[in-house]
Structure 1
Amino acid sequence: MITVNAQDRFRGIVLEYKSNELMPEVSIKNLNKSDSTRSDQSGEFSIRASKDDILVFSYPGYRVDSLVVTDFALKRIYLTSVNDPRMLEVVNINALTNNRIAEEKERLKKEGQFANTVTGSSNVNGTQRMGGIGFSPSRIFGKGARNARRQYKMLEEESNNRIIDARFTAELITSLTPLRGEDLSLFMAKYRPKASFIQEANDETLRLYVMDSYNKYKNLSPAAKEKIKLEDTTQTK
């Protein structure tokens, strides 16, 4: 009898980089195992994989992208149109180093800024002035600034996810609880902490959080667990 480890499955969500829309029917292939699949109508996919396997993502009209499997946390994969002049040189945010993300965030932050926080305003020749600082409405609502702020938000989310994923791991939870398989996935979705908590919590505080959350999870009804699945799907859209 062959036992299949839950971590033999790599799960993710494919999104369109420019619009952040979910992408169904994206082809995903594991070059190391020759397994392949497609993303479903919610952009989600699951494929057999091991650590260091290379996954390739392709869709007509979009650039082919790849990802090296380093862990089995749920990943967001962003694809870009072949005609899209990307602001980021690397579309697959998961492939960016932490330093590169920090650099891109700083650049995008500058491009998306339009004024400091000030009080008082006036309008002179179509240019709004706030506290003596002038800015043009087209600068605030211009396409470039909007894209910069959207992409900054995307990178900020990825940064926070990395902070959480580094410590709120399946290994930690299984070492403290009997949770496995779907229950483990539901627990991690329901009680996923905020990045601010992870940054402030020491190891003992995090262990207490996991055990306290597990005591709450044990009392959830089947209907409540089903609701977690629905909420998790909604949050990815």
Structure 2
Amino acid sequence: MKAFIRSIFLVGIFCMTFAKLAVAQVTLTGVISDSNKLVLPYASIINLNSGKRASSDQGGFYKILGDRNDRIVITFVGYLPDTVIINQASGTQTTNVIMKPEGRFLKQVEVTSQLTPYQQDSLARREWYGYLLDLPNKPLAGGNTPQGAGIVFSPITRFSKGERQKRQFKENYEKMEKEKFIDSRFTPLLVSRVTGLNGDSLQLFMRDNYPDYNTMRALQNNELLYWITDKYKAWLKK
């Protein structure tokens, strides 16, 4: 009898434990970027309710678990913190976060009509992000240590999270600038005028023949027209 009661008791404990484990959590996910669509890698994500932490990857993608009404705080060096509230009871909640730079860093940009739209935008972006881009990257600790003295790592090195954020931010910024320069020259309007393509065919051609940055820097305007024409002829033969 005692064994039977004990087994019932154990079964009850097992069921209660299983019920707690079975409570579904919400997977909060999305992409962290800013108003210029520059993704923010290694952003810090913390669930204030559970204490769980996570980081965005190099593409700005993040994922963290939580329960309904949990407060998720996202931080990135040079940007104002942002908060996301989990409003689902289960499943996946997708929330893209657009962060704002700290106000004290923003500067007023003056541009002239002699600049192209790309140049104006590029200058504005450089002013907007200058406070981050001008920060020097920290060298490896012990880089200037006399021979034989060994290497001493301090808590603030190029391996710290803040340094990784900064270096990856600069790499993403450079990549974004190159893509925006390409897009400023290799435009749908120009390609359509040269090839006569429109709609899906135009998008497909531009995707298949997206130029690299060095090519766009090297080509003059008339050379670009010939380049598009040659690419179009080769594309038709495929």
Taking structure 2 as the reference length, the TM-score comes to 0.47
Taking structure 1 as the reference length, the TM-score comes to 0.47
Structure number with larger C-alpha Rg: 2
Which structure exhibits the higher relative contact order, with contacts defined as CA atoms closer than 8 Å and separated by 6 or more residues?
A: 2
